[in-house]
A and B are shown apart, each in its own frame.
Chain A
Amino acid sequence: MLGILMKSWRVGIVTKTQQTKNRNFGRSWHIRHVDCGSCNGCDWEMNALLNPIYDLQQYGLDFVASPRHADILMVTGSVTKHLQVALKKTFDATPAPKLVIALGDCASNGGIFKDSYATLGGVDKVIPVSIKIPGCPPSPQEILDVLLAQLQKKVV
């Protein structure tokens, strides 16, 4: 009892870190979306994962409403200067263990907007990124392939 209390007082860390190495999270990834200045192409393709065709939830994956409920942050956009604080706060609010996925060219490396006065040029300029999915935008099938491969499952 005291052990669990002591663990939760160390803010956010309530499970063992081995999970992060397996990138498995019990094969049930709860994903929080963070838009850091995307054109909304990647966001809509992410949304499409929840439609009856791709039906992300059948694999045990889902999107959640709060970073507090999340294992994974899926970030889109090249990180505009206006959103860097929100991104940092969202990352800090997500309990460990956690992973960050940069979705799309903009999130991976700034994409076509990387040389702008208004952007920082990629998510890894602000928070550590574990997986980058390229594309402009990547299709829902491509996103699904990456997610399922990470879960050590293949789509038949």
Chain B
Amino acid sequence: MAAKEPDLIKLLLHKFSQETKFMGVKAGNEYYLEVSKEALPEVSSYLVKHLRASLATMIGNDERSISGSFRLYYYFAVEYEEIFIVLTSAINPVEPAFPSITPLVPSAQWYEREAQDMFGLRPVGHPDPRRLVLHHDWPQGTHPLRKDFNLDSLEKLPSSDYPFGEIDGTGPFYVPVGPIHAGIIEPGHFRFSVAGETILNLEARLFYTHRGVEKLAEGGTLEAGLKLAERVCGTCAFSHSVSFCQAIERAANAQIPERALFVRTILLEMERLYNHIGDVGNICAGVGLALGTSHGNRIKEAILQLNEDLTGSRFLRGINTMGGLKKDISDQQLAALKTKLEQLADDFNDLAEILLEHDSLIQRLKGTGRLSLVAVEDLGVVGPSARASGCIKDWRKVFPHGVYGQLEFEVAGETSGDVLARLKVRVNEVKTSFDLIFQLVSQIPAGAIVQPVGELVPYQAALGWSESARGNNLHWVMIGPGNNIFRYRIRSASYCNWPAVPLAVQGNIIPDFPLINKSFELCYACTDR
């Protein structure tokens, strides 16, 4: 966290002296640059290509009641400096359009489509301007995140067709799957174009579980926002609650008690553990290896029961609050946790050994569902899915939160980018997580568990994040008058990764699709909100 502008910012301001203006630092490391909207593509491209920044999230906001215009915030993470460069532009309501940066920065594709759906801000030159969040049957001009959006004007919607892309030729045929799938799984529609069994193309249509979480949070209290944060998703519930709390705490420049940070870190690792172990089991389910599925689910169940012992909730809901924790976890509970986890770690190591030496499993996993490093970097893929393709970034190291900055651990990575690589990354991360929890339990200090956060100044905003089991998720909160929420933007890891799944699937056979999908194990609910 620099006290004055880092050299990077000076360089940017010098190069783009006409188009940009430095607006100051927020929350210690968010460097705001006001950019004229016409210059957005050029400056964004420079950041990505020359300064090796990556687009972390983009937020659209209806600030007409504050300044008379809409506003876009493009958050670029500069990992090697641990800072964010925020390009922000005002969009005049008279001309609700802006030049799309997607042709130059492909990872912006969904953010800009979402700004179009939610605010009616048209990304000019976007290669795929179809509706994303709202399906095609919503009336034209429906923009739910505008402040003057009228809830009552909507009635029941008829079903209608989505303009899926087409494949030329008489050989290929379509296989539509979903939204209701054969197993116990979340809803999404997949349209395969296949020639025989080989997948030529996949188009995924998501946002079936769009519940309007961000709109629900607006005008509500911070506590209500936290409840929503925890219910965006079940399996990422704790990391979402950490991200939300951290956004508020950074906006308030709050000091969180050390013990609370330790407990948060332990619980983040517990969430990572049950997710990864369950995913290992699910990958086995994708090939019908019941041994792996049963043991994976057995160990996962043991961890969910431990979660309940520690916090009262299997999904770790209801323990976080702004400024720390709602209740403490005693040292005796932590000692008991360590003992049980030691046994589960042994169990898991045995299982991993069996699986990684199991020929018929390896044959199915090796070479299946390859995702290239180029695709990962261009699309901004995060988490184990990125690390398995050689993009070794982990926000526990890059933007340390909790007490990760004090802990010793290696980041897992592979290069082959196939299902086997994604399995191996998870196996290694499980081993690391067990070890991290043991370190944390032995080092946790005594002390307070909460330091209440004071009331915030209206229109203050900050970013909060955490590395969930699927990758980093980023929450951006702008406070309104009365310490309520003015705008809440949730960008989960799955949001970044879904666009990459169709690329991993190309050239594979359709029966391998469930396996490839399970190797990413993305949340639909996290993405759709």
A80 at the interface (CB under 8 A from B): yes
Residues from chain B with Cβ under 8 Å of A45 in the complex: 314
Taking a contact as CB atoms under 8 Å apart, the answer to whether A37 and B297 are in contact is no
Question: In the complex, what's the smallest C-beta–C-beta distance from A97 to chain B, in angstroms?
Answer: 21
Q: Other than the known A41-B231, A117-B144, what 6 A-B pairs have Cβ atoms closer than 8 Å?
A: A43-B184, A53-B298, A81-B157, A84-B157, A86-B187, A112-B228
Stretch touching chain A among B206-214, B352-360, B405-413:
B206-214
In chain B, positions 292-317 with a C-beta closer than 8 Å to chain A are 294, 297-298, 300-301, 304, 308, 314-315, 317
Stretch touching chain A among B175-183, B343-351, B502-510:
B175-183
Q: How many A-B residue pairs lie within 8 Å, measured between CB atoms?
A: 131
Residue in chain B with minimal CB distance to A140: B301
A contact residues vs B (CB 8 Å cutoff): 33-48, 50-53, 63, 65-66, 77-78, 80-86, 90, 111-113, 115-119, 136-137, 139
Complex: A35 Cα to B304 Cα, angstroms? 22
Given contacts A34-B180, A43-B186, contact A136 B212 (CB under 8 A): no
Given contacts A38-B209, A117-B212, contact A82 B135 (CB under 8 A): yes
Taking a contact as CB atoms under 8 Å apart, the answer to whether A113 and B212 are in contact is yes
Question: In the complex, what's the smallest C-beta–C-beta distance from A88 to chain B, in angstroms?
Answer: 10
B252 at the interface (CB under 8 A from A): no
Residues from chain B with Cβ under 8 Å of A50 in the complex: 184, 297
B contact residues vs A (CB 8 Å cutoff): 135, 144, 149, 151, 154, 156-157, 159, 179-180, 182-187, 207-213, 215-216, 227-228, 231-235, 237, 294, 297-298, 300-301, 304, 308, 314-315, 317, 523-525, 528
The one of B144, B208, B301 in contact with A51, judged by C-beta atoms closer than 8 angstroms, is: B301
The one of A35, A42, A53, A117 in contact with B301, judged by C-beta atoms closer than 8 angstroms, is: A53
24 contacts between A and B (CB under 8 A): A33-B183, A33-B184, A37-B209, A38-B525, A40-B234, A41-B231, A41-B233, A43-B184, A47-B184, A51-B294, A51-B301, A53-B298, A77-B209, A81-B154, A82-B210, A83-B179, A83-B187, A86-B179, A90-B180, A113-B212, A113-B216, A115-B216, A118-B210, A137-B314
Residues from chain B with Cβ under 8 Å of A116 in the complex: 211-213, 215-216
Complex: A77 Cα to B157 Cα, angstroms? 18
Complex: A51 Cα to B298 Cα, angstroms? 6
Complex: A35 Cα to B187 Cα, angstroms? 6
Residues from chain B with Cβ under 8 Å of A84 in the complex: 156-157
Residue in chain B with minimal CB distance to A78: B211
Q: Which of A37, A51, A65, A115 has the most CB of B within 10 A?
A: A51
Taking a contact as CB atoms under 8 Å apart, the answer to whether B297 and A82 are in contact is no
Q: Which of A44, A53, A82 has the most CB of B within 10 A?
A: A82
Complex: A50 Cα to B523 Cα, angstroms? 20
Complex: A137 Cα to B525 Cα, angstroms? 15
Residue in chain B with minimal CB distance to A44: B234
Residues from chain B with Cβ under 8 Å of A36 in the complex: 187
Residues from chain A with Cβ under 8 Å of B156 in the complex: 81, 84
Given contacts A51-B301, A112-B231, contact A41 B315 (CB under 8 A): yes
Given contacts A43-B234, A46-B184, A81-B157, contact A119 B297 (CB under 8 A): no
Residues from chain B with Cβ under 8 Å of A118 in the complex: 144, 210-212
Complex: A82 Cα to B178 Cα, angstroms? 13
The one of B179, B209, B227, B301 in contact with A48, judged by C-beta atoms closer than 8 angstroms, is: B301
Residues from chain A with Cβ under 8 Å of B528 in the complex: 37
Question: In the complex, what's the smallest C-beta–C-beta distance from B517 to chain A, in angstroms?
Answer: 14
Taking a contact as CB atoms under 8 Å apart, the answer to whether A52 and B294 are in contact is yes
Taking a contact as CB atoms under 8 Å apart, the answer to whether A52 and B297 are in contact is yes
Residues from chain A with Cβ under 8 Å of B207 in the complex: 82
Complex: A41 Cα to B315 Cα, angstroms? 8
Complex: A131 Cα to B208 Cα, angstroms? 25
Given contacts A51-B297, A65-B182, contact A35 B215 (CB under 8 A): no
Taking a contact as CB atoms under 8 Å apart, the answer to whether A119 and B180 are in contact is no
Residues from chain A with Cβ under 8 Å of B298 in the complex: 51-53
The one of B154, B208, B233 in contact with A40, judged by C-beta atoms closer than 8 angstroms, is: B233
Residues from chain B with Cβ under 8 Å of A66 in the complex: 182
Taking a contact as CB atoms under 8 Å apart, the answer to whether B212 and A63 are in contact is no
Taking a contact as CB atoms under 8 Å apart, the answer to whether B297 and A80 are in contact is no
Residue in chain A with minimal CB distance to B278: A44
Complex: A63 Cα to B185 Cα, angstroms? 12
Taking a contact as CB atoms under 8 Å apart, the answer to whether B315 and A35 are in contact is no
Taking a contact as CB atoms under 8 Å apart, the answer to whether B237 and A41 are in contact is yes
Complex: A116 Cα to B144 Cα, angstroms? 10
Question: In the complex, what's the smallest C-beta–C-beta distance from A114 to chain B, in angstroms?
Answer: 10
Taking a contact as CB atoms under 8 Å apart, the answer to whether A119 and B212 are in contact is yes
Residues from chain B with Cβ under 8 Å of A44 in the complex: 234-235
Q: Which of A41, A86, A137 has the most CB of B within 10 A?
A: A41
Question: In the complex, what's the smallest C-beta–C-beta distance from A81 to chain B, in angstroms?
Answer: 6
Residues from chain A with Cβ under 8 Å of B300 in the complex: 51
Complex: A120 Cα to B207 Cα, angstroms? 15
Sort A-B residue pairs by CB-CB distance and give the 9 closest, nearest first. A41-B234, A118-B212, A51-B297, A116-B212, A65-B182, A37-B209, A113-B211, A40-B234, A82-B208
Taking a contact as CB atoms under 8 Å apart, the answer to whether B151 and A117 are in contact is yes
Residue in chain B with minimal CB distance to A88: B159
Residues from chain B with Cβ under 8 Å of A46 in the complex: 184
Residues from chain A with Cβ under 8 Å of B179 in the complex: 82-83, 86
